[in-house]
Amino acid sequence: MNVSFTYGLRNTEQAAAEAVIRFIGKKEFVQGEGALPILQPQIDEALRAQHAKGLFKADAEQVAVMPTLGLYPAAHIVFVGLDSEGGATGLRLAAAAAAKALKKLRAEKVQVLLSDVLLDGSLAKLGIERSAQALTEGLLLSLHVRQPLKREPSERFSLKEVGFLPQGAAASAEDAALWEQGIAKGKLYAEGVVLARDLTNLPGNDLTPERLAYHAEELARELDLEIEVIDEWSAAEQRMGGLLGVGQGSINPPRMIVIHYKGNPSSDEAWGLVGKGITFDTGGISLKRADGMQEMISDMGGAAAVLGAMRVIGELKPARNVIAVIPTAENMPSDRAMKPGDVLRMMSGHTVEIVNTDAEGRLVLADGLTTAITRGATKLVDVATLTGAVSVALGTQATGAVTNNEALFNQVQAASDRSGERIWQLPAYPEYKKQIMSDAADLKNSGGRYAGTITGGLFIGHFAEDLPWVHLDIAGTAWLDSSRGWETKGATGVMVRTLIELIVHHE
């Protein structure tokens, strides 16, 4: 991301910006002798007049754009309401709201004024580094949109220069160092999310399993990581019946991608991150409805999340071992496709009766977990656009989780709290497992409509071999019909930052 961020330069030391962002809380509109100056007397008066009329209440994410008319060395001031209790998520959302206003103004060179109220409030509670990271992520991620493939390509609007400026006392050298660290981390996290979004937004005729493997190889080469790409013949030798069964209906053969990151070679502990990589899902013989099927390019959102996280992990180089596994295939109907009633033998040796070919993600993930385990993973997290049922339960607001280990889930939950990506744990009672028991095999790949997210997760967990495991169903959060906050329309890149937080900051 070619955006220049600076911190601590005074207005007189930096060329006039095209726009200035000023975060503001409701407390700053206190009247009387205790009222503090906001920016400039005439501009303050105009803003207070809007507040008095109820036009600008300084609610969280509310924006008021005011032309300065020569009263301030910038063409526009962007006032953004900020909830002082909103934490890192509140800062990301406020920065995202500001960035959208900047896009409308086409303002590429901006300053962010850090008021004493902000410095003594939100930033003091959260810490400088995390605050800087959150503001940077909000600014960058809200502006990254899908790039359409057109004859006359249009350029994405992007910021060029952002300066964070304290309004009160001059910045200390210690503060400046923390701001620079937070900004650098925010930019890097955003790059991981952008990678995931761009991959997920690719059309299915471009991003086949082989092409996804190519992108993974390019990433591994850039980061100097070891990578295995297992083709259909090697997959057959390793008896990956789930991966091959799903992929056999397509002319584009499946792949099993394995990336090794060895940040602590002396340790036997290794995280297994497994991402579902169905590059297009028609449902197979159990064909989906035509309406909305074009969004099934997003069925590899879990794979994209893992690759986006590995992009950052490879740069930050934490002292952890990570085995990233991406089982990738196309689920297509043809004369070769698997059928309801078929029985597949998985890589683990377990057999699965196919009762619905549209429940294919769990089949490739089962072989993905076994692949991670055979390569040394000792704890497992899988990320998948697995079920429509999770959207019925949680909408697009939260990712559903199923686990066999509360301690591991608590680590994942803590990582999601830091990233601002909501996760909600679903129960995993033993009774649910009965729904996927089969008369024809060890398991069947669907337990029916009821508790579909839970039974889908428990199917995958069956292949964890009693290792600590967490399943994250992002079917409702990986793709949006309209933008919100720092997440844009189309692919969101959800769970990239949570996975990074889990690996980089796990104690």
22 is catalytic: no
Burial of 262 (0-12, 13-18, 19+ CB in 10 A): middle
Q: Which residues pair with 444 in a beta bridge?
A: 353
Task: With a cut of 50, say whether residue 12 has pLDDT above it.
Answer: no
Predicted confidence (pLDDT) per residue in 33-55, tens digit? 456 788 899 999 999 999 999 99
Nearest to 497 by CA among 87, 141, 128: 141
CB atoms under 10 Å from CB of 474, counted, come to: 26
Separation of alpha carbons 347 and 292, rounded Å: 33
Task: With a cut of 80, say whether residue 168 has pLDDT above it.
Answer: no
Task: With a cut of 50, say whether residue 11 has pLDDT above it.
Answer: no
Does residue 498 contact residue 419 with C-beta atoms inside 8 Å? yes
Predicted confidence (pLDDT) per residue in 156-167, tens digit? 788 999 999 988
Q: Which residues pair with 21 in a beta bridge?
A: 78, 112
Listed in sequence order, the residues at least 6 apart from 221 whose beta carbon sits closer than 8 Å to its beta carbon are none
Separation of alpha carbons 317 and 207, rounded Å: 28
The mean-pLDDT minimum among 143-147, 362-366, 382-386 falls in 143-147
Give the end-to-end CA distance of the chain in Å, rounded to a whole number: 30
Average pLDDT over residues 386-409: 98
Task: With a cut of 80, say whether residue 3 has pLDDT above it.
Answer: yes
The pLDDT value recorded for residue 13 is: 45
Q: Which residue has the higher pLDDT, 166 or 327?
A: 327
Give the annotated binding-site residues for Mn(2+).
276, 281, 299, 358, 360
Does residue 190 contact residue 141 with C-beta atoms inside 8 Å? yes
Domain coordinates in residue numbering, the chain: 4-143, 196-504
Nearest to 417 by CA among 497, 297, 336: 497
* Residue 171's pLDDT band (cuts 50, 70, 90): low
Class for domain 4-143, per CATH?
alpha beta
Rg (Cα) of the chain, in Å, rounded?
A: 25
Average pLDDT over residues 99-127: 86
Name the catalytic one among 130, 197, 320, 362.
Answer: 362
Computed from CA positions of residues 191, 372, 425, 360, in that sequence, does the dihedral angle turn out positive or negative?
positive
Separation of alpha carbons 35 and 136, rounded Å: 30
Does residue 452 contact residue 339 with C-beta atoms inside 8 Å? no
Nearest to 474 by CA among 420, 394, 417: 394
262 is catalytic: no
| Residue whose token pair is 């959060």 | 477
- Options 3.40.630.10, 3.30.420.10, 3.60.20.10, 3.30.70.100; CATH for 196-504 is 3.40.630.10
Separation of alpha carbons 373 and 348, rounded Å: 10
Listed in sequence order, the residues at least 6 apart from 482 whose beta carbon sits closer than 8 Å to its beta carbon are 489
Distance of CA 102 to the CA centre of its chain: 23
Portion of the chain with pLDDT greater than 90, in percent: 85
Give the annotated binding-site residues.
276, 281, 299, 358, 360
Task: With a cut of 80, say whether residue 443 has pLDDT above it.
Answer: yes
Name the catalytic one among 48, 288, 375, 489.
Answer: 288
The mean-pLDDT minimum among 117-121, 143-147, 154-158, 365-369 falls in 117-121
Average pLDDT, the chain: 94
* Residue 507's pLDDT band (cuts 50, 70, 90): low
* Residue 148's pLDDT band (cuts 50, 70, 90): confident
Average pLDDT over residues 304-315: 98
* Residue 118's pLDDT band (cuts 50, 70, 90): confident
The pLDDT value recorded for residue 34 is: 56
Does residue 404 contact residue 468 with C-beta atoms inside 8 Å? yes
Task: With a cut of 90, say whether residue 355 has pLDDT above it.
Answer: yes
| Residue whose token pair is 């893992």 | 306
* Residue 473's pLDDT band (cuts 50, 70, 90): very high
The structure tokens listed for 223 are 């980061």
Predicted confidence (pLDDT) per residue in 400-413, tens digit? 999 999 999 999 99
Q: Are strands 479-480 and 490-491 parallel, antiparallel or unpaired?
A: antiparallel
Listed in sequence order, the residues at least 6 apart from 415 whose beta carbon sits closer than 8 Å to its beta carbon are 498, 499, 501, 502, 505, 506
Burial of 424 (0-12, 13-18, 19+ CB in 10 A): middle
Portion of the chain with pLDDT greater than 70, in percent: 95
